[in-house]
Chains A and B, each alone.
Chain A
Amino acid sequence: MPMSAIVALGVLTYAFRFTGPLLRGRVTVPAAAERLFADAAAVLLIALAATAALTAGHGFAGWARPAGVLVAGVLAARRAPFPVVVLAAGGVTALLRLTGVP
């Protein structure tokens, strides 16, 4: 990832943040648009989680990684403490690999 891309994302992000304070009191964001911002982000994160869990390059990532992520997902849905969720994912995957699962 070249430095130019990092700077570009940094500038774009700063612009998103800065517009609000700059326009203070002069614009309204429709509730529906605000909802679109939030929900688009949720869709992207879930899609990213799914592809990062299941795929490596253009192929299947093997079973150990999605298994760990699945356990983490169940724990997260049950509102387990955040550190537990993250450690469980790595732990399950590591244990499976130790037993020879790819």
Chain B
Amino acid sequence: MRTLWRTPLSAWPRDAALLRDVGLICLADGIVGLSFGAASVAGGLPWWVPVALSVLVFAGGSQIAAVGVVLAGGSPLAAVAAGAVLNSRLFPYGLAVADVVTSEYGPVRRWLVRIIGTHIITDESVAFALRQDGRSRRRAAFWTCGISLFVIWNLTVLLGVGLGSALHDTNAFGLDSTFPAVMLALALPTLTSRSIKVAAGAGAVIAVALTPVLPAGLPLLAALGGLGAGWTGWPGLLRRPSRPGEGGQVRDGGRPLGDDQPRDGGRPRDDGWPDAAGMDGTGYAGHAGGAGGAANDDE
């Protein structure tokens, strides 16, 4: 498949490959959506909570995190904080796809496209866009992936809500373990360097150890202290780049990102995995190319 992206064939087979990949991602995220919807209502939340989160937030990882905090008895504030930390990475994503989230046909259309396009910025749509060469292809990939995911995600969450409400004893079906399993499956592929493995391991220990003593939700935020253990990013973060462009990377859309390099390390894979860590995981670190991926190779 990677060879297909690199080979300058006519546009058609590549579009077929794009549609197939988008289909696979939709399938994988659909399973996450089903699980999210079902586990949310099975945990005792009213049906509209997962549904409203999916429409208004549309970022799977943070939705799962927010519901996880609330189901564990945490305050809504802690849930919002956890979700917001997870979604902060959408800021550099927005810079990366800024050139396809706009329009040349006047200010009205430009703002309309921006307002809608902003909402469908996800790990997947960004990763798909960045691996295309040329702006029109990146635009097509971004919008195809983003809109498909929005539709599939909200439909499957709704379906999951119905499923979760229909089952009487969801614990008997092990539904409660699909929740952490999904998170693990989303996050594991992004633990590519020793530094992040140590940080994530330390964070997990901190969170579990503090759960018996702290109010729910706080142990999760305390896990960020794991970044203090063995995470090697601090020197780079604290040091100011000596020249513009040396320590930073312009992620605006003006610079043509397209070349014949796969932007994401060959992802999405063909085996039905969510591309960049699910609806929302943390995939940028490992694949979506650019600064995040390069900086992480400190093994």
Contacts and interface: CB of A to CB of B under 8 A. Distances in A.
A44 B86 contact: yes
B148 interface: no
Contacts of B93: 17, 20
Nearest to A38: B285
Q: Which of B184, B295, B296 has the most CB of A within 10 A?
A: B184
Contacts of A31: 236, 247-249, 291-292, 294-295
Contacts of B31: 82-83, 86
Q: Is the interface of A mostly helix, strand, loop or mixed?
A: helix
B203 interface: yes
Nearest to B285: A38
B28 interface: yes
Interface in A7-51: 7-10, 12-14, 16-51
Given A6-B49, A47-B200, A29 B248 contact: yes
B127 to A, nearest CB: 12
B242 interface: no
Contacts of A1: 45, 49, 66-67, 70, 76, 79
Interface stretch (B53-61, B128-136, B151-159): B53-61
A90 B178 contact: yes
A93 B181 CA distance: 11
Contacts of A30: 236-237, 241, 247-248, 291
Interface stretch (B1-9, B14-22, B95-103, B257-265): B95-103
B183 to A, nearest CB: 4
B295 A34 contact: yes
B208 interface: yes
Interface residues of B, number: 127
Q: A interface, how many residues as a size bin? A: 35 or more
A57 B212 CA distance: 8
Contact of A17 (B119, B173, B227, B292): B119
B224 A20 contact: no
B161 interface: no
B158 to A, nearest CB: 16
Q: Is the interface of B mostly helix, strand, loop or mixed?
A: helix
Contacts of A42: 187, 190-191, 196, 199-200, 281-282, 285
Interface string A45-71: 111111111111111010011101100
A92 to B, nearest CB: 7
Given A28-B244, A85-B181, A93-B174, A37 B72 contact: no
Nearest to B247: A30
A43 B196 CA distance: 8
B284 interface: yes
B82 interface: yes
Contacts of A64: 174, 177
Contacts of A32: 233, 236-237, 239, 247, 295
Contacts of B213: 58
Interface string B7-36: 000000000000000000001100110010
5 contacts: A27-B95, A29-B291, A36-B233, A42-B191, A52-B68
Interface of A: 1-10, 12-14, 16-59, 61, 64-66, 68-69, 72-73, 76-77, 79, 81-83, 85-86, 88-95, 97-98
